[in-house]
Amino acid sequence: MQGNTLQNNSRLGTVDIHFTTTTVHGTLILERELEESDLSKLIEQIDEDLVLSADMPRDDFLVSVYIGKDVGFYSDEYFAEDTESDLGFGEEDEE
């Protein structure tokens, strides 16, 4: 990985951030592996751009990092269509 990869617009993954009264919890799911130094830079960037900009006092920023891939995006509309088509997923065949 080149040093400038974090500066371009290629997608690295997704982050979920939850604020409590004293701690900020982050879940970072990367779509590919990063070197430790690049991962540290990314977490620092998330902290500066998203966490600190929320202007909420905090004692710590705890981040869990995973590597995975995007397998889909689901919404209520998707499940409503699924119910209408009644695919029978999970139902046993009656004989």
> Could you tell me the domains of the chain?
3-85 (3.30.300)
Give the pLDDT of residue 91.
58
pTM: predicted TM-score of the whole model, two decimal places = 0.68
How far is Cα 60 from Cα 94, in angstroms, rounded to an integer?
A: 55
Q: Are 46 and 62 in contact (CB under 8 A)?
A: no
Distance from the Cα of residue 84 to its chain's centroid: 30
State pLDDT tens for residues 23-45. Answer: 999 999 999 999 999 999 999 99
- The residues that bridge with 56 in the sheet, in sequence order, are none
